[in-house]
């Protein structure tokens, strides 16, 4: 298992649409394990493969408590149903470091996906789990949570991140 580098905005890779996975084999399982290690190392609760530069439709998540890990693996996830009722959660993103915003998303959703072993699953999610799944699935479509913000707020965040990146490169 290995900790990978997380790509941060602005980076055109994050805007790429991820490709479906043909089948879940050893390579995909290794990728999911590495993604989980990377996510834990960064203190995140979700990570999409594109965030480490791999445009595959794979997500890992863990919204369990620190003392009780509950890793989840989603390959080729598809949202089947979304609730018309919205919930607002403050969201952040490992690819948009130190930036947070309140985002409205459907409060519940049903997701069909392949698990770590390639078995088809259906998950009915609500609350934080539903929010996290939708956030991570947006990554598969090249969408970041800041895309839901006003043009002004989004451009201020991107400008700030660009400045941080250029300062980091000098050090």
- Torsion sign, CA atoms 56, 132, 126, 104: negative
Structure tokens at 168: 């980091």
Q: Is 136 a catalytic residue?
A: yes
CA 53 to CA 12: how far, in whole Å? Answer: 10
CA 53 to CA 98: how far, in whole Å? Answer: 20
Alpha carbon of 85 to those of 106, 123, 133, 137: distances in Å?
A: 6, 18, 16, 19
**Of the residues 9, 28, 91, 136, which is catalytic?**
136
Residues forming the active site: 136
């Amino acid at each position: 298992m290995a900790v990978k580098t997380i790509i941060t905005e602005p980076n055109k890779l994050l805007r790429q649409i991820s490709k479906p996975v043909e089948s879940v084999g050893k390579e995909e399982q290794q990728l999911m394990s590495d993604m989980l290690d990377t996510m834990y190392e960064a203190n995140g609760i979700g990570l999409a493969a594109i965030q480490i530069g791999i445009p595959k439709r794979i997500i890992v998540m863990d919204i369990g408590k620190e003392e009780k890990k509950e890793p989840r693996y989603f390959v080729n996830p598809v949202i089947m149903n979304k609730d018309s009722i919205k919930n607002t959660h403050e969201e952040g993103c490992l690819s948009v470091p130190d930036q947070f915003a309140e985002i409205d998303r459907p409060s519940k959703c049903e997701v069909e996906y392949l698990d770590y072993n390639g078995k088809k699953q259906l998950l009915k999610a609500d609350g934080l789990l539903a929010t996290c799944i939708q956030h991570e699935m947006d990554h598969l479509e090249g969408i970041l949570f800041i895309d839901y913000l006003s043009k002004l707020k989004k451009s201020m965040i991107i400008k700030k991140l660009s400045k941080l990146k250029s300062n980091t490169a000098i050090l």
